[in-house]
Amino acid sequence: MNRKICVVVTVRASYSRIKTLLLAIKTHPNLTLQLVVTGSILLEKYGCLLNQIKQDGFDNIIKVSNLLENENATAAAKTTGLGIIELASIFENIQPDIVVTIADRYETISAAVAASFMNIPLAHVQGGEVTGNIDEKVRHAVSKLADYHFVATDTARQRLIRMGELPDHVWHTGCPSIDLAFQIKNNRPMQFDYENCQSVLGKPGKTGRYLVVMHHPVTTENNAIRHQTDTLLQVIDALRLPTFWFTPNPDYGSSGVSERIKAFKMTNKNLMIYFLRNLNPELFLKLVKGCACLIGNSSTGIREGSFLGTPVVNIGNRQRGRERAANVLDVVHEPEAIMNAIQKQLDYGPYSGVCLYGTGNAGNKIADILANVELSIDKQITY
């Protein structure tokens, strides 16, 4: 038996969080990897990862262009619809035995809907978690469409079972993103040294502490996005610490974030903020591990940061409800609150890492289950 496993990857974060599973599927004697990349992962403005994926040893990649770049709610809805149409054709051509979807991006639901209506068994990675934003609705919708669930925490597993999912189809495997973090955990923290990585990380600077900012628009707070971005820019600039600021995901409102960043760069000289679109997953995690504080509203600080012991200041509602460790301080989107929290984290220093989201072997666990599970799309759920 050699099962064809189709993994659909849509954004840069999803690739980082599924890379070890892709490798495990590729090297498994009873599995064949069918890798589909779509959405913003193909676009240069979001740090196109296609060349990086090829360099990591993945070939025969199937590309699907479906992202509408208007960056508004209508574009997100239409992108999802186009994704269903395009992926249905892909699935019809490649005939996968199982389709794997990741997390909670709006593009993710396209693969889930297409596979479900085509009676293809669907597996979902990182379901059962709770957050704010539209991600919350998408994640649970994908979970209800999915037949198999690979969750990061026991709390997430219990939540899916309470939602009616079959207990023997919900596995607490941990998150594949922690596999990569585990691999670099014992490496020396990356210093702010551009001599060996200038081409990747930008302008020359001095060795010392640095910050990382990952701040994405909250789709339900569109009217506040520009003001929130201005506030955060002013706080970070006032700290006068070298800072890596990653450009936002292609969500409704990301154009407002990019607009305010561009305006700030034009009106402020001698910035110590270096704006990046993307890094390869391993270098990115080394950057996160070595920073004095990660600031923003990305799940990276909560998920990978908990394992790496990275001090994190989480701002606003985007990660509301997600399980977190002691490394995270939650604050409202006000300048004084943000500044005070950052100063507190800078004074405290690194935390002891915890295995809240996995122990470093999720990719292999999931691949083995995919190879051996009895295939079924009949949940036989009793409510």
DSSP 176-196: HHHHHHHHHTTSPPPPS--TT
pLDDT at position 248 is: 86
pLDDT at position 208 is: 66
Pairing of strands 31-38, 3-9: parallel
Domains 3-175+358-372 and 186-348 share a fold: yes
Q: pLDDT-derived band of residue 382, with 50, 70 and 90 as boundaries? A: low
Q: pLDDT-derived band of residue 206, with 50, 70 and 90 as boundaries? A: very low
Average pLDDT over all residues of the chain = 89
User: Superfamily assignment of 186-348 in CATH?
Assistant: Glycogen Phosphorylase B; (3.40.50.2000)
Q: Structure tokens of 54?
A: 């090829």
Q: What's the one-letter identity of residue 95? A: Q
What CA–CA distance (Å, rounded) separates 258 from 265?
11
Query: Which residues, other chains included, contact 223 with Cβ-Cβ below 8 Å and sequence gap of 6+?
Result: none
What CA–CA distance (Å, rounded) separates 239 from 272?
9
The alpha carbon of 314 is separated from its chain's Cα centroid by a whole number of angstroms, namely: 15
Q: Structure tokens of 18?
A: 């599924």
What CA–CA distance (Å, rounded) separates 126 from 353?
20
Residue boundaries of the structural domains of the chain: 3-175+358-372, 186-348
Locus of tokens 């790496």 = 308
Least reliable range by pLDDT among 21-35, 66-80, 323-337 = 66-80
Q: pLDDT-derived band of residue 197, with 50, 70 and 90 as boundaries? A: very low
Residue 101 and residue 128 in contact, taking contact as beta carbons nearer than 8 Å: no
Q: Structure tokens of 308?
A: 């790496």
What CA–CA distance (Å, rounded) separates 184 from 180?
7
Q: pLDDT-derived band of residue 198, with 50, 70 and 90 as boundaries? A: very low
Question: Residue 25: how many CA atoms within 13 Å on its side-chain side?
Answer: 22
Count of residues in the chain:
383
Assess whether pLDDT exceeds 80 at residue 45.
no
Query: Cα dihedral sign for 118, 123, 126, 131?
Result: positive
What CA–CA distance (Å, rounded) separates 37 from 17?
14
- Long-range residue pairs from 347-351, CB within 8 A, at least 24 positions apart, any chain: 348/311, 349/292, 349/311, 350/309, 350/310, 350/311, 351/309, 351/310, 351/311, 351/325, 351/326, 351/327
Query: Cα dihedral sign for 43, 44, 46, 47?
Result: positive
Whether this prediction's pTM lies above 0.85 is answered by yes
Mean pLDDT of 44-64: 87
- Long-range residue pairs from 289-292, CB within 8 A, at least 24 positions apart, any chain: 289/181, 289/184, 289/185, 289/187, 289/189, 289/190, 290/189, 290/190, 290/191, 290/192, 290/210, 291/209, 291/210, 291/211, 291/212, 291/244, 292/209, 292/210, 292/211, 292/241, 292/345, 292/346, 292/349
Q: What's the one-letter identity of residue 182? A: F
The CA-based diameter of the chain, rounded to the nearest angstrom, is 63
Q: What angle do CA 177, 179, 180 make, to 5 degrees?
A: 75
Q: What is the pLDDT of residues 131-173, one digit of tens each?
A: 988 889 999 999 999 999 999 999 999 999 999 999 999 999 9
Q: Which class is domain 3-175+358-372?
A: alpha beta
